Amino acid sequence: MTTTNAQLFAQAGKQLFGDNWQQNMARALNWPIDERGQNRTVQRIKAAADAGEEYRIAPGVLTEIAGLMEVRSAQSKAMAKTLRAAAAKASPVQPKP
Per-residue pLDDT of 4-13, as tens digits, reads: 999 999 999 9
**Residue ranges covered by each domain of the chain:** 5-85
pLDDT band at 91 (very low <50, low <70, confident <90, very high): confident
C-alpha distances (whole Å) from 81 to each of 19, 84, 90 are 26, 5, 14
Per-residue pLDDT of 34-82, as tens digits, reads: 999 999 999 999 999 999 999 999 999 999 999 999 999 999 999 999 9
* Side-chain half-sphere exposure of 31, counting CA atoms within 13 A: 17
Range 80-88 average pLDDT: 93
pLDDT at 93: 73
